[in-house]
Amino acid sequence: DVGEIYSRLLDHRPVIQGEIRYFVKEFEEKRGLRELRVLENLKSTIFETNEHVLPKCEQAMRDNLNEAFRRLQAANGMIQRLQEREHEERKVK
- Phi first, then psi, for residue 62 (nearest 5°) are -60, -45
Task: Please give the mean pLDDT across all residues of the chain.
Answer: 88
Q: For residue range 28-52, what is the model confidence (pLDDT) as tens digits?
A: 787 777 887 888 999 999 999 999 9
Residue % of the chain over a pLDDT of 90: 53
CA pair distance 50, 60, nearest whole angstrom: 15
Element (DSSP H or E) covering residue 38 = helix 13-48
Ranges of each domain in the chain: 2-92
pTM: 0.46
Q: For residue range 46-55, what is the model confidence (pLDDT) as tens digits?
A: 999 999 999 9
CA pair distance 36, 60, nearest whole angstrom: 35
